[in-house]
Amino acid sequence: MYDDDDLVPPKWRSLFNNQDWLIHEIVVKSWYGFMIIALVAHILVFITAPWFPGLPGIIQGS
């Protein structure tokens, strides 16, 4: 079973085979991408219309 697990780091070989590891990589990288997009979106919204009361927006007129 573990003969073809050359992509999996040694400490994770009891949990993953190569196919599982590749799917895990896709899921983790997708999650990182989603988090970066969400962080950028939140920063852009906060710049234009801050959601904390009393803080002025960076863009004039907001």
Q: How far is CA 50 from its chain centroid?
A: 24
pLDDT of residue 1: 47
What does the pLDDT look like over 17-31, one tens digit per residue?
899 999 999 999 999
Domain count across the chain? 1
Structural domain of 59? 1-62
User: Reduced to 3 states, what is the DSSP secondary structure of residue 16?
Assistant: coil
CA distance 29 to 25: 6
Per the listing, tokens 């993953």 go with 16
For residue 13, what are its two tokens? Answer: 């070989």
Element spanning 47, H or E: helix 18-48
pLDDT of residue 24: 92
Name the percent of the chain lying above pLDDT 70. Answer: 74
Neighbours of 8 (CB within 10 A): 19
